[in-house]
Amino acid sequence: MMMDPCELSPSYVRSIAPYQPGKPISELAREMGLEEAAIVKLASNENPRGIGPRTRAAIEAAIGQIARYPDGNGFELKQKLSKRYGVDMGSIVLGNGSNDVLELVASAFLGPGRASVFSQHCFAVYPLATQSRGARAIVVPAKNYAHDLEAMAMAIDDETYVVWIANPNNPTGTFARHADIEAFLKRAPERVLVVVDEAYNEYLAPELRSDSFKLIKRHPNLVVTRTFSKAYGLAGLRVGYALAHPSVADVMNRVRQPFNVNSMALVAAVAALDDMEFVARSYAENLQGMRQIEAGAKRLGLDYIPSHGNFITVRVAAGGQSAAEVYKKLLKRGVIVRPVGGGYGLPEHLRVTIGTAAENDKFLAALAASIRE
Ligand SMILES: *Cc1c(COP(=O)(O)O)cnc(C)c1O
């Protein structure tokens, strides 16, 4: 008998359930014989407005440089972020999307015999990053769909080296206020790295935004991550970053690939930081779209989890059919949303990204037809 070469990989790797991304438009078009232009994708929390004008110009101007390796230290982007946020360049770690910097945390701080704490219904990357390092997952039940920070602090044990907090969380859209994050940091042992993932920071109401990374001075075990994938519209280019104590940043930089952020992404991110009007419009339109979908869900008699992101998770399984069935019916109508059963533990809900007003209308019409059918 020949052995299955897959058996050569450690058992903790083999037992990983693969990440389920939102279905690409091209795939649904092939499967259903639909025109790509007729499909609405509200499945991956992308910015429906695309990218800003400065960002587009910078990308177009940079094409000639593609034959060269990127600046492995990302000097210009770090310099720009350093000025914008008043942090030392040595506190910044760049990543191929913020997903990459989350993986760098896991590579640098987790391994067999160690554990990480995260919440039920949290972002799928935390369990993946934990499990792929052979570390143990400590999953804390959510409270009203939100992270229960009290219970998460209590769940930290002697083997815990990392706590993951998504703020706002995806897919629930729940948010912990600055004071609650600070209180958590005061309780967490210094030995435990606390990762606060702020991928949706730009979509927060102005009065809820905070410079949480300023807490790093008092809490050197804090890591704050942000991304250009959401409000800045650069999901396809892959660029994000972490702000951390310089010695944490240093060890994360040691485990990253030398050229983990590509040259287009670097150039685009620098320009995107100047596309402030674009980001402000994105925020405002997202807020309108959120109200539009909330009102639509109410009209259909569906509950939703109030969200602080650019997406909302709606309980669609009210009328006797499962969310998985509603998801399939939406696909047939050319609307892609995100199932959140399986790994996310929300089998009665679907997560929908806030689109343009026209996309939101199309989704609501397709949803109305799908739940009645
Ligand atoms: C989308 C998302 C990210 C990051 O995505 P990148 O494209 O890798 O930057 C990180 N955390 C959460 C909670 C997200 O939803």
Provide DSSP, 56-115.
HHHHHHTGGGTTSPP-TT-HHHHHHHHHHHT--GGGEEEESSHHHHHHHHHHHH--TT-E
144 with 232, same domain: the answer is: yes
**What is this structure's pTM?**
0.96
Residue nearest to atom 10 of ligand 1 (CA): 199
Atom of ligand 1 nearest to the CA of 100: 8
| Any ligand 1 atom below 6 A from CB of 175 | no
Find the CATH number of the domain harbouring 245.
Answer: 3.40.640.10
**Enclosing domain of residue 365:** 5-49+277-372
**Last residue of a domain, which of 216, 245, 272?**
272
Whether 193 contacts 224, CB under 8 Å: no
Find the CATH number of the domain harbouring 360.
Answer: 3.90.1150.10
152 with 257, same domain: the answer is: yes
How high is the pLDDT of residue 349?
Answer: 97
15 with 68, same domain: the answer is: no
How high is the pLDDT of residue 343?
Answer: 85
Q: Which of 47, 170, 195 to mutate to test the pocket of ligand 1 (most atoms within 8 A of CB)?
A: 170
Residue nearest to atom 2 of ligand 1 (CA): 199
**Last residue of a domain, which of 256, 272, 288?**
272
Q: Residue 352: beta bridge partners?
A: 312
CA of 117 to the centre of ligand 1 (A): 18
Atom of ligand 1 nearest to the CA of 227: 9
| Any ligand 1 atom below 6 A from CB of 170 | yes
| Any ligand 1 atom below 6 A from CB of 203 | no
CA of 24 to the centre of ligand 1 (A): 17
Atom of ligand 1 nearest to the CA of 168: 13
71 with 159, same domain: the answer is: yes
228 with 162, same domain: the answer is: yes
CA of 22 to the centre of ligand 1 (A): 13
230 with 308, same domain: the answer is: no
239 with 320, same domain: the answer is: no
261 with 292, same domain: the answer is: no
| Any ligand 1 atom below 6 A from CB of 98 | yes
CA of 182 to the centre of ligand 1 (A): 22
How high is the pLDDT of residue 3?
Answer: 86
206 with 265, same domain: the answer is: yes
- C-alpha–C-alpha distance, residues 210 and 212, integer Å: 5
How high is the pLDDT of residue 21?
Answer: 84
Cα–Cα distances in angstroms (integers) from residue 86 to residues 91, 211, 247, 280, in the given order:
10, 10, 18, 21
**Last residue of a domain, which of 223, 241, 272?**
272
How high is the pLDDT of residue 342?
Answer: 86
Residue nearest to atom 14 of ligand 1 (CA): 199
27 with 74, same domain: the answer is: no
45 with 60, same domain: the answer is: no
Mean pLDDT by runs of 10 across the 373 residues of the chain is 87 88 92 92 97 98 96 98 98 98 98 98 97 98 98 98 98 98 98 98 97 97 98 98 98 97 98 98 98 98 97 90 95 96 94 98 98 88
Q: Which of 45, 94, 98 to mutate to test the pocket of ligand 1 (most atoms within 8 A of CB)?
A: 98
How high is the pLDDT of residue 159?
Answer: 98
How high is the pLDDT of residue 318?
Answer: 76
Atom of ligand 1 nearest to the CA of 45: 1
87 with 235, same domain: the answer is: yes
Exposure class string for 284-306: b at 16+ Cβ within 10 A, else e: ebbeebbebbeebbeebebebbe
Atom of ligand 1 nearest to the CA of 44: 1
How high is the pLDDT of residue 310?
Answer: 98
Number of domains the chain is built from: 2
Q: Which of 227, 234, 340 to mutate to test the pocket of ligand 1 (most atoms within 8 A of CB)?
A: 227
